[in-house]
Amino acid sequence: MWQNLSLRGRINLLLALLLALGLAVNIGRQVAEAGPRVQAEDQSVIRLAREFIAMIVADLNEAPDPDARLNQIARDLSRLRHVSIALRDSAGNPLTPPRLGTDADTRGPPAWFVSLVHPEQTAVSVPVSIRGKPGSLVITSHPDDEIAEIWDGIVTQLEVGSVIALALFFLMTRVVGRALAPLQSLAEAMGQLESGHYEARVAPGGAPELAAICTRLNHLAATLGEAVEDKRRLAERAVSLQDIERKEIARELHDEFGPYLFSLRAHANALAKQADGREPSADAVRKHGSAMLEQINALQQFNRRVLERLRPVGLAELGLRQALESLSRLWRESRPDVAIETSISPALGATGETADLTIYRIVQEALTNVFRHAGATSVSVVIEPVEQAGGRHCARVRVSDNGRGMEPGQKLGFGLVGMRERILALGGTLNVVSGDGGVTVEALVPTAAT
């Protein structure tokens, strides 16, 4: 049952139990104190009655009619509230009528309470002697009124306490309900986010902690919406770039590769005709051969450019270190006004083909952005191994410049966004930090190192 209750139901149930327990403890305390209270009252009344009897009986023999005076005293004392006094002879037989019940007896507390608080009546015998005849005055306690008062107090306390407990319970349920009101909205908003509706928002309210959760959920929804939109734009851009790349490669194949192949075919046909002739011309053969060599060289240059765009030349053959040094050297030759410092840790070791290509592309994209937009005079490239929690090995790639940095609110270009998506797919991270001292691109790329 407890597992099926909502959070609000659990809190309300606990409140009800605590209030009922507090009320029960208070009533139990009063019941526990009732017995000693009645006993103290008994002892006090009997002590006062004995002292009073001892005082009035002392002069009893001097009365004109001691027997009549003693009976009158017994009848007068029987009217006391919490005690009855009966005159008995030497054999113990009563000489005065027994005490009649009072109104308190008819409206008294239940029998179980009387037996619990005062199970037995207290009786004390005071001996008296009148003209040599022995007798006694028996003092018997009757705490019925006291017990009734205690019972009435307990009933009143129970009634008043129940009303107060109910009022507190309903007040606390209202407070708890208002404090937990955002939970339903949070659940609905999370359901909408799960369904892909990232525009869902929750009005912050309730307790400060819940209000903070609502605010963070709204921020998370906005971030997810932006991430999904960036992913959509990136996918659209990737498709567009793929189409553009295909068109450029197709155009270059058509404009350069096709004419060179046609020219080679023409020269090959000419050489074949020379070979079929009776007297081949050495000059003609040399001319056609030289032309074919020039066209083959041009085709090799064209092939290298296409391969460079598809995959860095020499990365697989020479390795990551040499490929990055070659990339830095090309940038130094084209931009001698910018100092490029490259530091690759000797402890980096083998990182794997996928990590090598990713690291190379990160450095290539970062340097391209520096030379296009930063206006920097120096660039630092640092690559070093790091070990994350769980023993996972990564390569930290940090490219920093001293340029003017990014404008406030400026978004990353498609190149870095694409790199971030690629690194995230590998299980790494990419962060771009811009300040007065330039831009720092830092990436953690998981490697194949063990």
Q: What is the mean pLDDT of residues 292-308?
A: 78
Q: Which residue has the higher pLDDT, 389 or 275?
A: 275
Does residue 190 surpass a pLDDT of 60?
yes
Within 10 angstroms of residue 323's Cβ, the number of other Cβ atoms is 22
Interval 137-170: pLDDT, tens:
777 777 777 788 888 888 888 888 889 888 888 8
Confidence at residue 60, expressed as pLDDT on a 0 to 100 scale: 63
Half-sphere exposure of 450 (CA within 13 A, CB side): 0
What is the gyration radius of the CA atoms in the chain, in angstroms? Answer: 53
> How does strand 438-446 pair with strand 133-141?
unpaired
CA 429 vs. chain centroid, Å, equals 24
The region of weakest confidence among 64-68, 187-191, 317-321 is: 64-68
Of 21-25, 115-119, 243-247, 266-270, give the range with the top mean pLDDT. Answer: 21-25
Residue 358: what residue type?
T
Confidence at residue 248, expressed as pLDDT on a 0 to 100 scale: 76
Confidence at residue 361, expressed as pLDDT on a 0 to 100 scale: 83
Does residue 277 surpass a pLDDT of 70?
no
> If you write DSSP's letter for every residue of 124-169 in order, what string do you get?
EEEEEEETTEEEEEEEEE-THHHHHHHHHHHHHHHHHHHHHHHHHH
Locate all alpha helices (DSSP H) within 58-132, ordered by sequence: 66-77, 103-106, 111-117
Alpha carbon distance 383, 278 (integer Å): 67
What angle, rounded to 10 degrees, do the helices at 7-57 and 66-77 form?
Answer: 170
Does residue 202 surpass a pLDDT of 60?
yes
Q: What band does 319 get if pLDDT is binned at 50, 70 and 90?
A: confident
Residue 242 CB contacts under 8 Å (≥ 6 apart), including other chains: none
Q: Which residue has the higher pLDDT, 341 or 181?
A: 341
Interval 23-67: pLDDT, tens:
888 888 888 888 888 878 777 777 877 777 777 666 666 667 666
Q: Is 141 exposed, middle or buried (0-12, 13-18, 19+ CB in 10 A)?
A: buried
Q: Cα torsion for 388, 391, 393, 397, to the nearest 10°? A: 10
Alpha carbon distance 327, 360 (integer Å): 9
Within 10 angstroms of residue 244's Cβ, the number of other Cβ atoms is 10
Looking at domain 319-446, which of 3.90.800.10, 3.30.565.10, 3.30.70.890, 3.30.450.40 is its CATH number?
3.30.565.10
Confidence at residue 220, expressed as pLDDT on a 0 to 100 scale: 87
Domain regions of the chain by residue span: 7-178, 208-309, 319-446
Confidence at residue 1, expressed as pLDDT on a 0 to 100 scale: 60
Confidence at residue 138, expressed as pLDDT on a 0 to 100 scale: 75
Confidence at residue 283, expressed as pLDDT on a 0 to 100 scale: 77
Looking at domain 7-178, which of 2.10.270, 1.10.110, 3.30.70, 3.30.450 is its CATH number?
3.30.450
Confidence at residue 102, expressed as pLDDT on a 0 to 100 scale: 47
Q: What band does 450 get if pLDDT is binned at 50, 70 and 90?
A: very low
Does residue 428 surpass a pLDDT of 60?
yes
**Backbone phi, then psi, for 206, in 5-degree steps?**
75, -150
